[in-house]
Structure 1
């Protein structure tokens, strides 16, 4: 399962906290979310422990930009945080539809 690549296309969503800080993320649903959930379950069973917040370590790629991060479970799916440097390099902003390739680590 390690090294499996899942592809996702969706709208970049924004989340703001009480201080107004913005995090931008890509919501992962459908078959891609099921693949990530299966990977997380397999990793939890084989290691005997759960990563923080149930996260899964990944390498993500949008356009020419790639970075290592984690995806986190959210409302029957997962979310992929998209760094500001990636958004700048790929000319992305909240509300933009984009595609990502996610390698499960």
Structure 2
């Protein structure tokens, strides 16, 4: 399976420890497959480079492992949240490509 692209819907949440940092958590099955297939390519802090599409917004970033949640988390920058009209608790439809 050479697929490097994943689609999922996940809830937008704000990191309690660091106000104004917003994320979506990858579904466990997606995170497990990414870890298995691409974990060996991880950079600092276990990050994996990705390209993301949410609505009409596209950008490059990294996903990061979150041991508390047991999955990877995807940061959602303010420009994207504003452009797509997203607030905490909203379902976010994500298309993610491992770079």
Q: How does the TM-score come out when normalised to structure 1?
A: 0.82
Structure 1: 4+ residue segments shifted above 4 A? none
Q: Residue 7 of structure 2 aligns with which residue?
A: 7
C-alpha separation in 1, matches of 2:47 and 2:11 = 21
1:6-85 matched pairs, under 5 angstroms: 6-17=6-17, 21-43=19-41, 50-74=42-66, 75-85=69-79
| CA RMSD in angstroms, aligned pairs only | 1.9
Gaps of 5+ in 2: none
Q: Residue 98 of structure 2 aligns with which residue?
A: 104
Number of residue pairs the alignment of both structures matches: 97
Gaps of 5+ in 1: 44-49
Q: Residue 47 of structure 1 aligns with which residue?
A: none
